[in-house]
Amino acid sequence: MAQRQTFSQKYHCLQSKQQVSSSSSIRNLNLFLDGKGILRACGRLRASHSLRYDESHPIILSYSSSFARLLVRFTHSISLHGGNQVVMRLIRSRFWISKLKVLVKSTINSCKVCVIYKKRLQTQLMGDLPKERASYSRPFTHTGVDFAGPFEHEGDPLGGDIGSHDGEMAAFCRFIAQRGCPHQMHSDNGKTFVGADKVISTDFLEATRECIIAQHGHKSLSWHFNPPGAPHMGGLWEAGVKSFKALFYKATSTTRYTFEGLRSKPA
């Protein structure tokens, strides 16, 4: 009944075995009438033994018909208020509806249950940026640091002290030699970072080499740790570590470097 109301002209043409008008929007669907007089589409899946007849020859419905709107509403309900893709997949297993995506979207947007559960909840207001990020300063004046790895390499890792306090201090001295002495260091509560902070706070002049001290020893240096349970405070430099690791792994995936070569690769 719904097909005869919305596709009356096409229905009459097929009954009289005439061609459907070339201006019709569904002419390319290879329309035909089955044994029960239902208007169906004939696709390229007629030879399939895995699909049901309704799937390979779906029933055609108009976007503007009341039956199509009721069908979409019913399918949305039995799918436990499923999303657009779920409802469209269930409907297309038996029916072909023009502008189905638009119809499904409008139906879901007008569903009271979905509107209630899709309401935007109140979001947490973000705090102000720290003064170090809101003021101009020399690069690396305020530095955040985190560990990256593991990185595979050949040979002995110089005594195996890379992850120790001494190894961290050696890397920190190299950083100062290349970038200058920062005023503030930020990190999480890693054991090596805490140990390095104790070394620096005990005697910064003793923790760095004499040549570096002569150039940077007059500058003050303080080390700050993120509060426990607040990993978001280190997100800025942790994102940088993530980006570096992604690029570094790609650049070193085909070659196995020695420790010195691996350390020189980022330069």
Mean pLDDT of 182-203: 62
Question: How much is the mean pLDDT over the chain?
Answer: 75
Position 157 pLDDT exceeds 80: no
User: Token pair of 263, please?
Assistant: 């350390």
Looking from the CA of 132 toward its CB, the CA atoms found within 13 Å total 14
Query: What pLDDT shows up at residue 237?
Result: 80
Q: Which ranges in 189-258 belong to alpha helices (H)?
A: 191-202, 204-207, 210-216, 235-252
Distances (CA, A) of 172 to 195, 208, 240: 13, 9, 18
DSSP character for 143? E
List the domains of the chain with CATH numbers: 2-117 (1.10.340.70), 131-264 (3.30.420)
**Between 37 and 94, the higher pLDDT residue:** 94
pLDDT tens figures, 56-66: 888 888 888 88
Question: Could you tell me if 115 and 145 are in contact, meaning their C-beta atoms sit under 8 angstroms apart?
Answer: no
Query: What pLDDT shows up at residue 199?
Result: 55
Query: What pLDDT shows up at residue 154?
Result: 73
pLDDT tens figures, 47-92: 777 888 888 888 888 888 888 999 999 999 999 999 999 999 999 9
- Residues with Cβ within 8 Å of 48's Cβ and at least 6 positions away in sequence, in order, are 56
Confidence at 248, pLDDT banded by 50, 70, 90: confident
